[in-house]
Every structure is written in structure tokens, then in C-alpha cells.
Amino acid sequence: MTRTDGEAYWQFLDLAEKAVRERTSVVHAMLRTGSVAGTWHPNGFATFEIELVEGLGLIRLHVWARHLRRSVPRHPEIHSHSFPLYSRVLCGTYRENQYEASETTAAGGMCAYRVVPTGRGGPDVLRRSESRYTATPILAEDAVFPAGSWHDLPAGVFHSTLIPPDDFCATIAVLGRHLPGVTDVLLGEAGFEQLNRSRAWLTSPELTEIRRQFDAESRACGER
């Protein structure tokens, strides 16, 4: 496991927090007016690219809508990134757990799938590793981040996000620059076969429903 700690990481968090704060109202307006297109992440939530900030990374809006998820069947949920991440919770509650992962020779271990870089907007290309892993949750229960709070992840930390399908959550995330020599890794069941695929665009009805839920949740957050 590779962690990104130290001064450079804290500088990233400071810059990311400022960038998100400056763009929050713009993000609200872009989604409410439908001026931004979205795609489905393989783990089932909607992603909207907001802006690529030079020297910082990519700003995206992530939305877990109620009863509107489109995940890839059997897609590994535990994963690590090759970049640091900062995320501000706009509405709802974000839930996450982190894991200690290690190689194992025991039968029944999890498969590792390494992500092949294909560039921004490129297809998802995975390569299965011959090694097997165990993943042990660090926390007894998922960590909970309510609206208005933020969370961060150094590169290389294995984690999973399991927001119940009847919950709503929206976050603005800053995906920092990829670190040299670090690869995105997924841990999941053996037999996952969709190793090459392009992400599906949200349909017009899906986008309309997400906009409706986002508007209602934003008003509710403001009222609190």
C-alpha cells in the first residue's frame, strides 16, 4: 500500500478546499440548469466533470441518487486511487470504510485488478493480477460524514463507499494529479469479466430525476 502524507499532501488539501469553496455555487447552477453531462461510475453513482484545474486536478460532482443507481454487476467495490482526493459533502450523508490489504496464499482471497491509464474520458481497462489479497476493515463501522463536512484520502488507501440505495448524497470531489509509479487497484471477487468498457452517459430522464432530487435536497440542507 502506498500512502501520500507530508507537506505536499496538506498543500493539496488546502488548495482543494479553496477550489471547491470558490466553485460550489457554480456547481449548483450547472446541475440545476442541466448544462453539465454526466456518466455512471461502475460502482453505481453519477459523476459530472466540472473543471480541470491546472496544477491541482479534476473537480467532479458525485451524486448517489435515491433508488437511481446503475452499477456494473460484480464490479469490485474496494479500491485505491493513484491520486490524493478531497471531497466536500453538499447534501446527505457520505459513508466510507478503509481497509488494510495484504497478499495471501490462502484459498478464497480477493482478486486484484489494476487499472490501465487511458487518459481523461477514456474507457475503463483492467488487468487481473495473479496475486490474491485479504482486506480487513480498519473501522468497526463505516465512517459517517454529514452535509457540510469533508473527507480526504491519500493515494494508495483502500476504501469502499456503500451509500444505501434509499439515501441521497452529493459531494464535490477534487481528484488530484496522478502520482508517478502508483496505480489504481480494485479488490473483488474472482470471475469479474468486464475488464474493458466505456462508461454509460446518463439518459435525459435520469438526469432530470437527479436534478429534481438534488434541488429538493439542496433546499432541505439550506433549511437546516
Percent of the chain with pLDDT over 70: 96
**DSSP H helices in the chain:** 7-33, 204-223
- Residue 53: which residues within 8 A CB-CB, separation 6 or more? 19, 59, 174
List phi, psi (to 5°) of 172.
-100, 120
Contact 24, 51 (CB under 8 A): no
Percent of the chain with pLDDT over 90: 78
Q: Is residue 88's pLDDT more than 80?
A: yes
Contact 143, 96 (CB under 8 A): yes
Confidence band, pLDDT 50/70/90 cuts, at residue 220: confident
Q: How far apart are CA 53 and CA 170, in angstroms?
A: 21
195-216 confidence digits (pLDDT tens): 899 999 999 999 999 999 999 9
Question: How far from the centroid of its chain's Cα atoms is residue 165's Cα?
Answer: 16
Q: Which of 8-12, 14-18, 134-138, 187-191 has the lowest mean pLDDT?
A: 187-191
Q: Is residue 3's pLDDT more than 50?
A: no
- 3-class SS at 130? strand
